[in-house]
Structure 1
Amino acid sequence: MTIKGKRKYSFGPALLSAAAIAALAISTQAYSAENEIEVVHQWTAAGEAAAMKVLKDAVDAQGLTWVDSPIAGAGGKNMTQALQARFAAGNPPAASQMQGQFVLEYAQAGSLGDLSPIAEKEGWEKLVAPALLDYMKVEGKIVAVPLNQRRENMLWINKKVLDQFGGKVPESWDEFLALAEKIKAGGIIPLALGGDDWQEGEIWTNILIGQGGVDFYKKAVMATDRAAIKSDTMIKVFDTFRKVLAYADPNRAGTDWAIETGKVIKGEAAMQFQGDWANGEFAAVNMKPGVDYLCAAAPGHGHTYVFLTDFFGMFRQPNPEAQRKQDILAEAAMSIEVQENLNLKGGSIPARLDVPRDRFNDCSKQAFADREQGMKDGTLIPSFVENHALPRDVRAPYMDIITQFANTPDMTPQQAVDKLIEGLDSI
């Protein structure tokens, strides 16, 4: 698989200046206090917080003191901005959660420590899906630790609401729209959707793959193929996107994804397109798949697995003691015990391929099977919305147009396509 982010970057103030890199190499950090290790992350929802506690407890058990620095909101944007400010001040944390493209950017800037000695000793490269090595391994060095291999393209349904309307899990977008109309007529919100651009982007991606297929996604998004973008298929994608949005929560502006998941949990909304982190929210309130809620791949997706991964990057340290503490964190994060228990809480499946599956629920067991199939037939594909498939400058025009279209009712599909082409051509 070719990842577009595998290229050199010229950093401006938007990410990291040369002065900040130098400050990183020479500064004495607050977290370098004896036995302390500071970790920045964005996991603040109920299931996420429970998952992170698994890793925290494992690190604390090794004699370290985990200094927790959670930064919530905006799908990780707030965390990213705070981290960049820390770099500008010459005061980065020991480690931070980050998505694939951020791993590549920081690594190519020389800001991440080399985890190769630990990775080689424990055989990490043989333990994860090859697709993850596109991000973990940069210029021959292992620079990040994967906590999971999340699945973005999921549909979550309140079973009681579905049964009330005599429906079945929709397997096509026409079936979804017909079901949504019945539910709306019955006075329940058909689709829980928050106000973040990434939530809109995930629905758009689900429609694109469901109607165009994996190969179309690879052309129209991953390869930014202009002919594919201008095609009738893309027009249909935007047209369906408009129809789907008509069934979304009318009060979605500014709402967090977990708030919307809560509406599905309570039966205030029937369905939600959300990554498998929603699985952790259902688990946190002891709801059972197949009994209280249903999970399925987005309509038309079959076993397609759109993945993203939460990595930990360890920022480069000149102090051997600081490096030792980072090594302890890295080893804990990749242990079978942490990979299993963290993902049982968080709703995803482990990055490691050798973790036992028997304790995972049916939604996760299906994810295991679909990942395995996707590794064989090329349907394990990276998310562009969640900063894996595209560099951020290439991702930006897609996200801008998706959000404009979602929030501009009179914008036509053709206008959206034209603006997307214009945006890509301006890069």
Structure 2
Amino acid sequence: MPQPRSIAFICCFLLCATAAAHPSANNTVDILHWWVSEGEENSIGIIQRYIEKQGLGWHAEAVAGSGTYRFSDELRKRVASGNPPMASQAIGYDIRDWARQGKLLNLDNIAEEYQWDEVIPFAIQHLSKYQGHWVGVPINTHSTNWLWVNHAQLTRLGLKQPDTWPDLINMLNTAKASGLIPIAIGREAWEHTLLFESVAAGAGGAEFYRRVFLDLDPTALDMKIIDQIFQRMSMLRNFLDAGAITRNWNQATELVLSGQALLQVQGSWVDGEFNASGLVPGRDYDCYRFPDTQGLVLFNSDQYILFKDHVVEPETRNTFVKTLMDVELQRDLNIATGAAPARVDVPRADFNQCGQQAINDMRAANMRRAMLGSIAMGNANPGPVKNALYKVISDHLMGHISNSQAVSRLAQIISQAPRP
């Protein structure tokens, strides 16, 4: 029969084991995120698995709409009601907006201990920090200047990777003549702006893109280049189908997957969708850089921000942050998401062909300072500028305004924008 001290020890052990099996509210990771498509759900499941392996509880709420008003409004409501999540997915300048309000946890101690400055690309650090302090935890490096192409249709039509703008137009004309949807796209302004930013980077080059859309420098506005960009967007309008005004981005991806469309100009999360469907690059689909943007990485980095006012054990927060930045999590997560990791030191071997190219491109662009924030995803400029650009770009692509009107309105937006 156990002695009293032994009984006390056993009881303590059982209580601790029960607590570990059923984490308390103070030991539970509570997050808000926007990953709702099939590939994205697989990705959030990977984060959950890694967090639960640490003995923490997990509570996640999804609100569709990456970085859009739908998601932002829900987050603002929770914060305003005094019930912020422990952590929320965030991108780009939205991170700075929350930091400016004094709502976010300072992560400098963890960042210094684990040498984030050494392993995270500089362009991402620019958005992860506010006034020199770490406030965001980057989990990936999506890039947006991709063509995602149905391999069977490409082969059937005798086409190959387009290297230049004329190559792309020839490809699209061939697809249209064959009865395919040349470019699959959805109805939302951010999708239209993704197309625009690749066209802009291809037409103007890295320095033009940086000075106009990141630095918001009105002296860099070369009106001939701006006019050429909108002329090219008008050309691409001819390759869209009537269904574009009703579908969302992942429905457009389904059109490419099924062979009803030749290609989609979209971020590397498409690779995650294809991966979730069991497709293999080089056999079922191909990934090419948008013509004339080779060497550039227009990027969007999903990050997590942590709110000061959420009641939780400090160690729970710290474990969550450290786990997100773990090399193995970033490997497994980004094999699923289709992105490159947010760290430059994650091994490439287990990634598919498109994932390995994304990692190679990210590392090279980081060294050359050729990683440039995505306009569409809010990584290039503050929210008011992004939303103003959304309006003019979408109005133009949908044929509501002329080239000259679009040129004038864009120049006005850049000229009137506060300099970063």
TM-score, shorter chain, exceeding 0.5: yes
C-alpha distance in 2 between matches for 1:357 and 1:424:
39
Structure 2 matches for 1:24-423, cutoff 5 A? 33-73=25-65, 76-229=68-221, 231-317=223-309, 319=311, 321-409=312-400, 411-423=401-413
Partner SS state of residue 194, structure 1: coil
C-alpha distance in 2 between matches for 1:210 and 1:171:
11
Per-residue deviation, 1:214? 0.8
The one-character-per-residue Cα deviations of 1:355-404 (angstroms, maximum 9, x if unpaired) are 11100111111112212221222321111221112111222322211011
C-alpha distance in 2 between matches for 1:155 and 1:241:
16
Per-residue deviation, 1:220? 2.4
Per-residue deviation, 1:276? 0.5
C-alpha distance in 1 between matches for 2:116 and 2:385:
30
Per-residue deviation, 1:150? 1.1
Partner SS state of residue 110, structure 1: coil
Per-residue deviation, 1:230? 5.0
Give the letter aligned to residue 118 of structure 1: I
Change (3 A) 1:209 1:299: same
Per-residue deviation, 1:309? 0.4
Change (3 A) 1:126 1:74: closer
C-alpha distance in 2 between matches for 1:401 and 1:100:
21
Per-residue deviation, 1:208? 0.9
Partner SS state of residue 306, structure 1: strand
Partner SS state of residue 210, structure 2: helix
Per-residue deviation, 1:73? 3.2
C-alpha distance in 2 between matches for 1:377 and 1:355:
19
Contact persistence 2:27–2:313 (CA under 8 A)? no
Contact persistence 2:172–2:182 (CA under 8 A)? yes
CA root-mean-square deviation: 1.8
C-alpha distance in 1 between matches for 2:336 and 2:277:
11
Per-residue deviation, 1:75? 5.8
Per-residue deviation, 1:224? 2.7
Give the letter aligned to residue 87 of structure 2: A
Give the letter aligned to residue 372 of structure 2: I
Contact persistence 2:139–2:330 (CA under 8 A)? yes
Partner SS state of residue 252, structure 1: helix
Give the letter aligned to residue 368 of structure 2: D
Contact persistence 2:230–2:403 (CA under 8 A)? yes
Contact persistence 1:47–1:346 (CA under 8 A)? yes
Give the letter aligned to residue 405 of structure 2: Q
Change (3 A) 1:73 1:140: closer
Unaligned runs of 5+ residues in structure 1 are 1-30
Per-residue deviation, 1:213? 0.8
| Identical-pair percentage | 29
Per-residue deviation, 1:268? 0.9
The one-character-per-residue Cα deviations of 1:27-67 (angstroms, maximum 9, x if unpaired) are xxxx9824322110011111111111111111112222211
C-alpha distance in 2 between matches for 1:74 and 1:113:
22
C-alpha distance in 2 between matches for 1:73 and 1:310:
13
Contact persistence 2:85–2:310 (CA under 8 A)? no
TM-score (norm: length of structure 2): 0.90
Unaligned runs of 5+ residues in structure 2 are 1-22
Give the letter aligned to residue 378 of structure 1: R
Change (3 A) 1:426 1:95: same
Partner SS state of residue 224, structure 1: coil
Partner SS state of residue 385, structure 1: coil
C-alpha distance in 2 between matches for 1:143 and 1:292:
40
Contact persistence 1:228–1:234 (CA under 8 A)? no
C-alpha distance in 2 between matches for 1:318 and 1:212:
45
The one-character-per-residue Cα deviations of 1:4-40 (angstroms, maximum 9, x if unpaired) are xxxxxxxxxxxxxxxxxxxxxxxxxxx9824322110
Greater CA deviation, 266-275 or 417-426?
417-426
Give the letter aligned to residue 88 of structure 1: A
Contact persistence 1:229–1:417 (CA under 8 A)? no
Contact persistence 1:75–1:198 (CA under 8 A)? no
Per-residue deviation, 1:226? 3.1
Give the letter aligned to residue 409 of structure 2: K
Structure 1: which 4+ aligned runs deviate by more than 4 Å? 424-427
Give the letter aligned to residue 381 of structure 1: L
User: Whose radius of gyration is greater, 1 or 2?
Assistant: 2
Change (3 A) 1:117 1:376: closer
Change (3 A) 1:179 1:426: same
Partner SS state of residue 300, structure 1: coil
Greater CA deviation, 417-426 or 60-69?
417-426
TM-score (norm: length of structure 1): 0.88
Give the letter aligned to residue 157 of structure 2: F
